[in-house]
Every structure is written in C-alpha cells, then in structure tokens.
Amino acid sequence: MNRIDSMTRPLAGFMALLLAVLVAGCGGGSDPILGGGGAAAPATLTDKTRPRVSVTVPANAGTLAANSSITAVFNESMAPATVIAAATFTVMETVSGTNVPGAAVTYSAGSRTAVFKPTAALTPALGYTATITTAATDLAGNALAGNQAALPAASNYVWTFTAAAVDAVSPTVTLESPADLATAVPLNSTVNATFSEAMDQATISTTTFTLQTTSPLGPVLAGAVTYDAVNNIAILTPSVNLAGSTQYTATVTTGAMDLAGNALAAGVLPNPWTFTTGTALAPGSIALGSAGTFGIMATSAITSTGASIINGDVSLDPGTSMTGFPPAIVNGEIHINDTVSEQARLDLLSAYNSAKSLPPGTTISAGADLGALYLSGIPPGTYTSGSTMLVATPLTLDAGGNANAVWVFQVGSSFTTTASVTLANGAQSKNVFWVPTSDGTIGVGTIFEGTIVAGRDVTAVTGATINGRILAGAITAGTIALQSSTVNVPAP
C-alpha cells in the first residue's frame, strides 16, 4: 500500500478501501454500503497511526522545581533519532522568548520517554513553554499528533509551566510489589517499586534495582529493569521464573535519583524487603494477536454520530456498512473485508475463547454494581458473573504497585457503565479485559479503561472516552455504535 499524504491519510485510506468495495460489489448489481457486495482487495497492515504525547512532567499549567528536568512520555515507541534531534524538543522562557540551554535530549525506548535536562537551573516564578515538534515520528515514520491542530493533521505538542523553588527533597519508595513479607507469590511475578516522585530513568537499572535469594544471600538474578514514567514505577522482570517456596530480597539503592538529582532516601517501607514464592503461576494478559492494533472492530456494522475520534486502526469484517466517517476521524488505517481484517477477526475469536476459558474467578452476583462492591478499589484477578455486570459507582482498578497486574471480567450476558472506571497504583489499561457474552454499553461522558472483547454489540454513549479497544462480534454478527466518543489504543 502506497504512503498517503500525512494531512489526509486516514480519510484517503478509507475512501480507497470503500472504492474497492464499491467496485467489487457493483459486479453483483447490489449496493455494498447497504449490504451485499464483494470484498476489497487484499491489504497489508501498515502503521499509519500518528503518535501522541500521553504524559508530561510537569503537566500543562503546572509547576516544576527549578533544578529538574522536563520529560514527555509517548503513547507508542518513537524513532529515537527524531526525538533527540536538537530542534525537536525545546524549552523557552515565555516572556523573553529565550531558549533554555540544555544537554542533549535523551530518549528511553523501554519507557517511551524523552528527557530535556537544562544545563543551568531555571528561574523561579518565571513561565516556560516546552515544545515537541512534528519532527518527532514513530518507528513507521508517522509525525506527531500534537495539540496545535485537529487530526488528521500532524502538529506540535506544546505545554506551559512555571518554575518553582529548587528541589532538595529526596525521593522514597512508597509502594512495593510483592509487598514486604508477602507469601505465596506467583513464580512469574515481576518486582515493582513505586516512587514518591518522578525519577531520572537513566538511574533506574539492573545496578540500582536488584533481586537475590535471601538465605543464603545469593547472586543478583539476571533480568531487565524498566521504568514506568506515567506511574513512577521501576519494574524488575527476572529472566526466568522464580523458584518455588523460596524467599527473595529486593533492593533499590541510593543510585536511583529523581529528576533534580536527589538520591533515594529511606522511607516508611523497608528497603531492602523480602517475600516468599508459592508454587503456582499468575494468570497472564489475554493475547489479542493482530486485533491489538485496532481501536474498534466489528463483524457487522459500525456507526458514528458526531465527532468521534479513533486513535488506532479500524476493522470491519464481514460487513460493509460504516457510516459517520467523516465527521468521525480515524488516526490510523481502515480495513474492510481484506486479509488484515480477516486475520484480526480470527484473532478476536481466539482472544474471546481464551478469556472465557479461564477458570472462574471471584463470583459477582447478577446485576451487581462493581463500584459499590469495591469502594476502596478492586484488586487484580478474574471476576465472573453468570449474568450481567454494572458499574454505576466509580470503580478504581488498584494494581497495588504491580505494573503487570491483570483484570479479566467474565460477563455471562451484558455489562453497562454509568460511572467512570479509573486506574491506580500502576494499573494499565492494556491489562484490563471486559468479556461479555452479549453486549456492552459505556455511559454518557464517562471514562472507561480496558479492552472490550464482546460476543455481540457495543455502544459508547455521548462523550464517552475509552482508553483501550472496542472489539465487537466475536461469536455473532456484532455492531459498534459511537456517539461523539473517543477511543485511545493503549501502548503495548
């Protein structure tokens, strides 16, 4: 598939696919938009989704210690050379318009984070403007979807902040997973340390975060250490599963520093800390296969009313009825009855079957409100209802500091939300799965976290934001109805 001009790619991609459907369908004398017709020409999935900035430190209109670095986290992997280029990530003193001198910008592929480190302290009380330009591209060459122009156009991402006093406060570890003295820890666990503030990712490594058997104290285990800049969590992933019924000691050293260069200090929690494994594995995330790139996927029809935005790909297979695009915008590719959509539909069914075949978890009675049942937050695990599920009270998914925590909601019929679902303590939308046998409905103006893998239909009511995916029609002809809704595909 040829590259399309960056200003019109999503719409042009749809029109090209639609034309292919029309041409094929006209051979049978039927109207393919209303039903019938043939398949579009086979297509190859290529990434045409513009990357976005998901989190900045400081936040827009926030404050930053005068001796701190400025960071930006992207929603997908970026081409490092485009991010660290001298003119891509700049900081300017707002009143004078003078650029702030800085060391070379760094980019961490593991955390998708760019860091601008001033060579001298900022001036307290002055305002500053940070800019990441469209020169920043993802690995496929797609330019940044910033906040200076509406999609499908590329644009710069700009935010402002005020410099505050110099930061001389040391960071501490505020949450540990597994917790100190925990027992029966799954053998495939990661070890996580949550910090009291944003950290310098260059100081979070296998040297500063280690794991050893306790008695006797063994050598440092091989593994990888990454940093979740969104939640300020260091994640140590051992190279192999932990040994059963064994005590381990985790340590974060004072070599770990915050963005102002302050070294880690002792906090309320013990550091080092210990935990003991059990003999079992924890359930992992549901594999979506090729369906994972899609923001929405249906097996009958897709409709949108109002200015919906899909930050991800779109699939319709089988079916040709896709209405409301535009004014709805797709920041990605559209696949209708081609080889890509066919494979994605097969992977959707596989993901649905995998989720449904998990052993039943915590029983949820028919029609129970999850938010009311778990007012202080719902921990990771599998939750099973033979009938309906409801979120009528705000629901918090609490990972307890485990950035790899997984939730699977097995719903016997349908689920409905009228309140928002939010994340806490390292929970990630990519690890949350809602699996109704029938339908799902996301309420007016709510924020929803996780991937919906529905047996049939899904409706996102006016103004709903889904940080995840809507994958409908796994086992029967499924439709998706959007009403000025936004779908943001989570980072892998």
Every domain of the chain and the residues it spans: 53-164, 173-277, 285-488
Alpha-carbon distances of 18 from 26, 39, 40, 262, 339, rounded to whole Å: 12, 10, 8, 57, 15
pTM more than 0.75:
yes
pLDDT for 155 equals 98
pLDDT for 34 equals 30
Segment 122-140 mean pLDDT = 97
Q: Are strands 389-391 and 334-336 parallel, antiparallel or unpaired?
A: unpaired
Segment 163-175 mean pLDDT = 97
pLDDT class of 372 with cuts at 50, 70, 90: very high
pLDDT for 320 equals 85
SS3 22: helix
Q: Are strands 309-311 and 329-330 parallel, antiparallel or unpaired?
A: parallel
CB of 335 closer than 8 Å to CB of 45: yes
Domain 173-277: give its CATH code: 2.60.40.1220
Nearest to 117 by CA among 131, 106, 132: 106
CB of 242 closer than 8 Å to CB of 236: no
Q: Is the pLDDT of residue 24 over 60?
A: no
Instruction: Give the tokens for residue 24.
Output: 């094929």
Q: Are strands 407-411 and 432-436 parallel, antiparallel or unpaired?
A: parallel
pLDDT for 455 equals 98
Higher pLDDT, 105 or 16: 105
Q: How far apart are CA 154 and CA 138, in angstroms?
A: 12
pLDDT class of 379 with cuts at 50, 70, 90: very high
pLDDT for 16 equals 37
What is the CATH class of 53-164?
mainly beta
pLDDT for 46 equals 75
Determine the Cα angle at 316 with ends 31 and 54, to 5°. Answer: 140
Segment 301-309 mean pLDDT = 96
Let me know if the fold of 53-164 is the same as that of 173-277: yes
Segment 446-471 mean pLDDT = 98
Q: Is the pLDDT of residue 307 over 60?
A: yes
Compute and round to an integer the Cα radius of gyration of the chain.
24
Which range among 44-48, 236-240, 328-332 shows the weakest confidence by mean pLDDT? 44-48
SS3 390: strand
pLDDT for 40 equals 39
Q: Please return the burial class of 5, using the count of CB atoms within 10 Å of its CB with bins 0-12, 13-18 and 19+.
A: exposed
Mean residue pLDDT across the chain: 91
Segment 240-246 mean pLDDT = 97
What ranges in 359-434 are assigned the alpha helix state H? Answer: 370-373
pLDDT for 283 equals 83
Q: How far apart are CA 198 and CA 445, in angstroms?
A: 30
Listed as own residue / partner, the contacts of 477-481 with beta carbons closer than 8 Å and 24 or more positions apart are 477/299, 477/300, 477/319, 478/298, 478/299, 478/300, 478/454, 479/298, 479/300, 479/301, 479/302, 479/303, 480/296, 480/297, 480/298, 480/301, 480/302, 480/303, 481/303, 481/304, 481/457
pLDDT for 45 equals 59
CB of 479 closer than 8 Å to CB of 473: yes
Q: Is the pLDDT of residue 399 over 90?
A: yes
Q: Across-strand partners of 91?
A: 130
Segment 140-149 mean pLDDT = 96
Q: Indicate the DSSP class of residue 18.
A: H
Segment 178-203 mean pLDDT = 96
Q: Across-strand partners of 285?
A: none
Which range among 10-14, 217-221, 228-232, 380-384 shows the weakest confidence by mean pLDDT? 10-14
Ramachandran quadrant class, 100 (left: phi over 0; alpha: psi -120 to 50; beta: rest): beta
CB of 422 closer than 8 Å to CB of 396: yes
What ranges in 59-144 are assigned the alpha helix state H? Answer: 80-84
25-84 pLDDT, tens per residue?
Answer: 333 333 333 333 333 333 455 788 999 999 999 999 999 999 999 999 999 999 999 999
What number of helices (H) and strands (E) belong to the chain? 4, 38
Q: Is the pLDDT of residue 101 over 70?
A: yes
Nearest to 448 by CA among 427, 419, 425: 419
Segment 205-225 mean pLDDT = 96
